[in-house]
């Protein structure tokens, strides 16, 4: 009789040597899907992101370490402190590696070699290991030895050049999107490598970089350049190839109108009582609307200012014409759709008397489950548990490692 499996990655053990955002994004997603995530942190200081604040959950502590930043990407993980700079720490890491299916690390290219924890050395101990490296610029190429951060890569990878107002400066996106996208690509790569190993019994090295990921998700904007050789420019909240698909001003504030096809434009014109606009040969197709963007905007922006946002949103959505308000973050978490989809969850935490709010996982399975089993851990919260229960070390050996300040 087959063992019942409730989560897709149940039974997969992952050693997480990452910190800050890209790597932790990847491993949190895998943990949500059931993988056993063992997060290795430096004794005393831990993951750098623990101190990226305020705000902090433990703001009244003399040394706060539970930043909102850390809490956002570290649930469903066990925190184990190991000093990897010491020989005993490296030996302890290898004991964990022998029992793991995947390693995820985001040290600068080549830096783990000094500890004997590079892929070449690790695969000798565990030939089936899937070893995922996340760096700023990749394992090879002229920039491979450089440090890479999200902001830098947003700048170098082109997204800032097309973000912002037409006459303004290049602008970064409001979250570390290059980090987050790289984490998602890494998760996909790890899942594919696990599938490959199921078929071949072979592990492999996965090489992910923020720069590659950033270039990749330039998507149709990059492809437009490759086809036309015209350098894309900033156009604010407009869309380069769809009109009207933009921010518009209603009577009581800004909203978004996202008309993506001719049927939607026709129905918008009917509802706005400007049916003649759709019949106008300058505006009857999207290509023509893009060509005549400025003259079209003069007409529709004047009409939209006559009614409030609720009028447009309620009326146009009944006609399946996409539009909506521009919500701040408070409004996002008050939105009935967001709440019905359980995108805000509650979990208990060691440093809070009441459950804390966290952002939920967006994946909804019909059969298997996303589970929130463990809140983001305090530093070293699970060290003894993992060493004794997972590695089967004796209490005496654990105490020896403590005395030597290895853990």
- Given a cut of 70, the residues of the chain with pLDDT beneath it are 1-3
| Domain shared by 177 and 207, yes or no | yes
Within a domain: residue 226? no
What is the span of the domain harbouring residue 316?
245-326
Whichever domain contains 45, its CATH number is 3.40.50.10540
Residue 333 lies in a domain: no
Residue 143 CA to residue 70 CA, distance in Å, equals 28
CATH of the domain at 258: 3.30.1540.10
Q: Is residue 1 part of a domain?
A: no
Does residue 225 sit within a domain?
A: no
Residue 233: other Cβ atoms inside 10 A: 9
Would you say residue 8 lies in a domain?
Answer: no
Whether the CB-CB separation of 49 and 43 falls below 8 Å is answered with no
Does residue 384 sit within a domain? yes
Shared-domain flag, residues 66 and 173: yes
For the range 237-240, what are the long-range contacts, defined as Cβ-Cβ under 8 Å and sequence gap of 24 or more?
238/293
Residue count of the chain, please give it.
Answer: 407
Same domain, 48 and 197: yes
pLDDT of 284 reads 92
Integer CA distances (angstroms), 303 to 11, 257, 269, 299, in order: 59, 13, 10, 7
Q: Judge if 108 and 194 occupy the same domain.
A: yes
Please report the pLDDT score of residue 64 as a whole number: 85
* Active site (annotated) includes residue 88: no
Q: What is the pLDDT of residue 6?
A: 84
- How far apart (Å, rounded) are the C-alpha atoms in residues 67 and 48? 10
Backbone phi and psi for residue 92, each to the nearest 5 degrees, phi listed first: -65, -40
Q: Assess whether 116 and 206 both reside in one domain.
A: yes
Taking only the tens place, the pLDDT of each residue in 24-69 is: 999 999 999 999 999 999 999 999 999 999 999 988 888 889 999 9
Q: Are 118 and 162 contained in the same domain? A: yes
The answer as to whether 223 is a domain residue is no
Tell me which of 58, 101, 179, 382 is the catalytic residue. Answer: 179
Mark whether 78 and 135 lie in a shared domain. yes
- pTM, two decimal places: 0.93
**Looking at the structure, do residues 250 and 374 belong to the same domain, yes or no?**
no
Q: Which of 374, 345, 371 is nearest to 358 (CA)?
A: 345
pLDDT at residue 2, rounded to an integer: 62
Domain count along the chain: 2
Contact 377, 39 (CB under 8 A): yes
For residues 65 and 198, state if they share a domain. Answer: yes
Contact 75, 375 (CB under 8 A): yes
pLDDT of residue 310: 97
Dump pLDDT digits (tens) for 182-203.
999 999 999 999 999 999 999 9
């Amino acid at each position: 009789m087959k063992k019942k499996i409730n989560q897709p990655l149940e039974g997969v053990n992952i050693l997480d040597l990452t910190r800050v955002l890209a790597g932790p994004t990847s491993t949190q997603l895998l943990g949500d899907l059931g993988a056993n995530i063992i997060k290795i942190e430096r004794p005393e200081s831990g993951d750098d992101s623990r101190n990226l604040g305020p705000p902090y959950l433990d703001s009244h502590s003399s040394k706060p370490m539970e930043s909102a930043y850390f809490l956002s990407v570290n649930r469903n993980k066990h925190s184990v402190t190991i000093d990897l700079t010491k020989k005993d720490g490296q030996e302890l890491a290898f004991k964990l590696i022998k029992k793991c299916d995947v390693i995820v690390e985001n040290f600068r290219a080549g830096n783990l070699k000094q500890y004997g924890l590079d892929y070449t050395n690790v695969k000798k101990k565990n030939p089936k290991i899937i070893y995922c490296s996340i760096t700023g610029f990749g394992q090879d190429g002229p920039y491979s030895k450089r440090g890479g951060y999200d902001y830098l890569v947003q700048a170098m990878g082109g997204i800032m050049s097309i973000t912002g107002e037409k006459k303004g400066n290049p602008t970064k996106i409001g979250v570390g999107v290059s980090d987050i996208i790289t984490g998602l690509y890494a998760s996909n790569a790890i899942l594919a490598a696990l599938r490959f190993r199921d078929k071949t019994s072979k592990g492999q090295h996965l090489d992910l970089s923020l720069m590659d990921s950033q270039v990749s998700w330039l998507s149709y904007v990059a492809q437009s350049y490759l086809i036309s050789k015209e350098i894309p420019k900033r156009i604010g909240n407009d869309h380069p190839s769809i009109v009207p698909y933009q921010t518009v001003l209603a009577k009581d504030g800004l909203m978004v109108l996202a008309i993506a096809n001719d049927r939607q434009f026709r129905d918008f014109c009917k509802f706005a009582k400007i049916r003649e606009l759709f019949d106008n040969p300058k505006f009857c197709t999207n290509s023509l609307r893009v060509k005549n963007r400025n003259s079209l905007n003069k007409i529709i922006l004047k009409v939209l200012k006559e009614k409030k946002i609720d009028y447009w949103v309620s009326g146009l959505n009944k006609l399946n014409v996409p539009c909506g308000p521009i919500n701040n973050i408070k409004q996002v978490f008050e939105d009935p759709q967001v709440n019905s989809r359980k995108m805000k969850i509650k979990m208990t935490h060691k440093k809070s008397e009441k459950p804390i709010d966290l952002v939920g996982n967006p994946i909804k399975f019909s059969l298997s489950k996303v589970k929130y089993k463990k809140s983001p851990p305090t530093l070293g919260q699970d060290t003894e548990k993992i060493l004794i229960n997972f590695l089967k070390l004796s209490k005496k050996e654990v105490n020896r490692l403590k005395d030597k300040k290895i853990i």
